[in-house]
Structure 1
Amino acid sequence: MELQVSTASQAGHAVVSAVGELDLYTAPRLQQALAALLGEQELDRVVVDLSGVEFCDSTGMNVLLSGMKRVRERGGVFELAAPRPAVQRILQVTGLDTVFTVHDAVPALDAT
């Protein structure tokens, strides 16, 4: 299955939405989108909307961790939003639910 990635940004905040499966084959698409977004502008907050992600493997988790590291190095906040049960379970099993800030829903771009 393909992975579709879209971004929206406003006033230093960005939401990156992913739809599909986040795995070895598709993770580079999300990685490229995050790199492009961070290369284009200074962001205080990046939220990755996982509501459309049906599956995520370790490669996908590594892309998310790498994105978080890059945003934090710049003094920003990196958050995950609305993971489906399968993705939420991976976060819990790996302990990454304590590493990432995870929201039940996607915050509005202008929310803090």
Structure 2
Amino acid sequence: MGDTGFENHLLAYARLVDPCTATVVATSDAGRLVIAVSGSIDVQASATVADQLGRMIGAGDHERVVLDLSGVEFCDCAGARALLAVHELAEAAGIACTVEGPRPHIRWLLELTGVAAVLGLTPQG
């Protein structure tokens, strides 16, 4: 096994250099905006991610926004709150907003916090 202490120090240093550990990429077609989020939506990245998502949603004339979370590897409660805030922003602007593809552990967090129901994720059983 490797030295996890050293790996943790490297991760901490990487976050100091680049605190946003998430990537956000948008594509648009026929009134639908698909925003793919990847990486970690944690307490350090949540404000930046919410800001980026909000600007992307506000920048165009979209009828529907899809947040593709299939590339999200980690999300904490701050990240869940950021997703909820973006959803509320879209809905307030009259834009339907849905979430697709969260990994099982991300879905679990969203269900546990009650955010899944607001985002329109159906429970898995």
Please classify the TM superposition score into its range, dividing by the shorter chain length: 0.7 to 0.9
Normalised to the residue count of structure 1, the TM-score between the two structures is: 0.83
Matched, 1:4 2:19: no
Q: Match for residue 93 of structure 1?
A: 112
Q: Match for residue 71 of structure 1?
A: 90
* Equivalent residue letter for 2:35: V
Superposed CA offset, 1:77-108 (max 9, x none): 111111001101101111222211237xxxxx
Normalised to the residue count of structure 2, the TM-score between the two structures is: 0.75
Q: How many residues align?
A: 103
* Equivalent residue letter for 1:87: I
Higher relative contact order (CA 8 A, sep 6+): 1
Runs of 4 or more above 3 Å deviation: none
Matched, 1:34 2:49: no
Which runs of 5 or more structure 1 residues have no equivalent in the other structure? 104-112
Write 1 or 2 for the structure with the bigger share of strand: 1
More displaced 10-residue stretch of structure 1: 25-34 or 14-23:
25-34
Q: Match for residue 73 of structure 2?
A: 54
Write 1 or 2 for the structure with the bigger share of helix: 2
Q: Quick check: which has more Rg, 1 or 2? A: 2
State the shift of 1:26 in Å: 1.4
Matched, 1:17 2:36: yes
Which runs of 5 or more structure 2 residues have no equivalent in the other structure? 1-14, 16-20
